[in-house]
Amino acid sequence: MTGILNIQLKPTLGKKDINISKVADYLEKSSDKKLDLVVLPEFFSTGIDHESFLNSPEDENGGETIKSVCELAKKYNTNIVAGTVIEKSQDKLYNTSFIIDRNGKVIDKYRKIHLYNYMGGTEGDRITAGDRPVVVDFDFGRVGIGICYDIRYPLYYKELAKMGAEMIVLPTAWLVSQEVFSDSAMLKSAQDMWVAMNRTRAFDNLVYVVTCNQWDNRCIGRSMIVSPTTEVVSDGGSEETACYADIDLELVKLYKTIYPIAEID
């Protein structure tokens, strides 16, 4: 079995030290569990704070933020998908997820490919899109990486599955308008849509899907782990929390011998 910890944060805007301390606290509280993978949300260290993005991006190595997360990975002997930070490289900004092994070493990074430029979103005005799908070999299995709006692109998930992903991990800051967030019925509808997308991506590709979202500041929560059969085995609901689940990646191997999804199309 593989132990997954999803840390659903309510980041304090622009306060990196406070937010990293929250991550450390959740890891300490969960240190009695089998931690094979810890997942953090998109913009976990700053929240959706455009001033921080533009005025204090991290360098190509992830800066002090990723250095701190690497230390936590080594301390708690766990692999970490370190949400995302804004990375500056050759005068361009990228929305980047750093992937860290148990030794505290960055083994890869994924730059968000599908930027949110719709319904008032302007991510592409500041951020440069990545161009490389990433699948990482961890010591427990093969994991594809996406970020937030990538979930709206099923062919990207298909590509990760064809690259051998047994699990797809998606740090997110999935937000809605203030009108939707403050209306319980509208918020439930938005969350139901989010759950449906997660379950569909898992079923279509016969993989586990792990999404780690922010909560509050208009982000809708519902960080979850979904099995290849669409069972939601962990759900963060609507609060700041850390959710743990043991999953069985042998199920992925079994189902893919029955349904060779990656070989179709």
Map out the domains of the chain with their CATH numbers. Answer: 2-263 (3.60.110.10)
Q: Tell me if 168 sits within 8 A of 210, measured CB to CB.
A: yes
| Mean pLDDT within 208-212 | 98
pLDDT at 180: 94
The pTM is what?
0.96
- Residues 6 or more apart whose Cβ sits within 8 Å of residue 50: 126
Q: Comparing C-alpha atoms, which of 218, 216, 214, 213 is closest to residue 178? A: 218
pLDDT at 51: 84
Token reading at 89 = 């490289």
Q: CA-CA distance, 9 to 101, in Å (whole number)?
A: 21
Q: Tell me if 5 sits within 8 A of 31, measured CB to CB.
A: no
| Mean pLDDT within 171-198 | 96
Helix residue ranges per DSSP H, 35-118: 50-55, 63-75
Residue 122: which pLDDT band, with cuts at 50, 70 and 90?
confident
